[in-house]
Amino acid sequence: MSDYMSVFRSADGQEQVFKAYDEIMAKWPVPYEELFIPTRLGSTHVIASGQIEAPPLILVHAFCASAASWYMNVEGLSKAYRVYCVDIIGDANKSKPYRYIRQLEDFVGWFNDLLDGLLIKHASLAGNSIGGFLASNYALQQPERVKSLILIGPAATFRQIMPFYLNTFPAGMTGWEFLIRHAVKWCENRVPFDPAWKELFHKTLKYGKGVSQVFPSVYTDEQLKKLEVPTLLLLGDRERIYDLNLAMDRAKALMPDIEIEIIKDANHITALSQPEKTNAAMLRFLNKITATE
């Protein structure tokens, strides 16, 4: 459609990001389908792998990370699950929004449309950073459609994320090279990213502009107490967006059905920096949920 909004600063910038994205997809270790699901916010790009009859697992990425960021995880996860890696609409990726997204409620409707378009009644959701915040909000609003929830370094949710806004967000807002270099290094926190994905992350920060104006927030005590979906909280021990102990303490005190694991030598993009450890923790949790059905 001609009325899609661009999520890039220029056509050349989009081309460079898509080239880096496709180079990651050339490394995708298992067969996949690329789907475009119509939703009320626009056309949502989804990468699907695994047997179609397997239990569905929806993976939702971090800020400027894109669905391609799960390429080190999909092989292990798709052996037992139908894995859908979703490009968050409004972020700089291959999804195509119709308009600016200004309300958190818009993403609840978007998730409904996404699941309906994939012919899924309910699924397990796993989200990193902003993806974790959006997934947890959906579980709070539509618990009947969420079988289980995996939060990987969720943005805000339990604690404020001022370090993120100071160190990473300015790079995406300006596209300035020195801020991008700082943001990438700050996120890595001495655990270097794979060079191919680092190139994609760098270009997305440089050329993306996004059209989502929804920012993650900290849930109230009452909201967290109502989040009764079985939940796994995964945190890299090199996480920098908030104090890990304070986040864990609040989660344990308020959420009725939560498990917590710390992934050693993992940064904010935990599943990418330590894919085998992250997969093992996710599969232990997911298999236990499946076994109780």
Q: Is the pLDDT of residue 1 over 50?
A: no
Structural domain contains residue 1 = no
Spatial distance between the Cα atoms of 230 and 189, rounded to a whole number of angstroms: 30
**pTM of the predicted model as reported, rounded to 2 decimal places:** 0.97
Structural domain contains residue 60 = yes
Percent of the chain with pLDDT over 90: 95
| Contact assessment for residue 271 and residue 68, using Cβ atoms and an 8 Å cutoff | no
The residues with which 152 forms a beta bridge, in sequence order, are: 128, 234
Band the pLDDT of 257: cuts 50, 70, 90: confident
Structural domain contains residue 206 = yes
149: left (phi over 0), alpha (psi -120 to 50) or beta: beta
Q: How many domains does the chain have?
A: 1
Q: Is the pLDDT of residue 2 over 60?
A: no
pLDDT (average), residues 172-200:
96
| Nearest CA-CA partner of 200 in 76, 75, 71 | 71
Structural domain contains residue 72 = yes
Encode 266-286: b = buried (16+ Cβ within 10 Å), e = exposed: bbbbbbbbbbebbbebbbebb
Structural domain contains residue 179 = yes
Q: Which residues contact 280 (CB under 8 A, 6 or more apart)?
A: none
Q: Is the pLDDT of residue 63 over 60?
A: yes
Structural domain contains residue 163 = yes
Q: What is the pLDDT of residue 290?
A: 81
At 148 the three-state DSSP class reads strand
Spatial distance between the Cα atoms of 149 and 176, rounded to a whole number of angstroms: 35
- What positions carry a catalytic annotation? 268
Q: For 99-150, how does the pLDDT look when each residue is reduced to its tens digit (9 = 90+)?
A: 999 999 999 999 999 999 999 999 999 999 999 999 999 999 999 999 999 9
pLDDT (average), residues 158-187:
95
Q: What CATH code is carried by the domain that includes residue 120?
A: 3.40.50.1820
Least confident among 108-112, 163-167, 286-290: 286-290
Residue numbers of the domain that contains 108? 11-291
Q: What is the pLDDT of residue 173?
A: 87
Structural domain contains residue 57 = yes
DSSP symbol at 78: T
Q: Is the pLDDT of residue 179 over 50?
A: yes
Q: What is the pLDDT of residue 210?
A: 87
Structural domain contains residue 2 = no
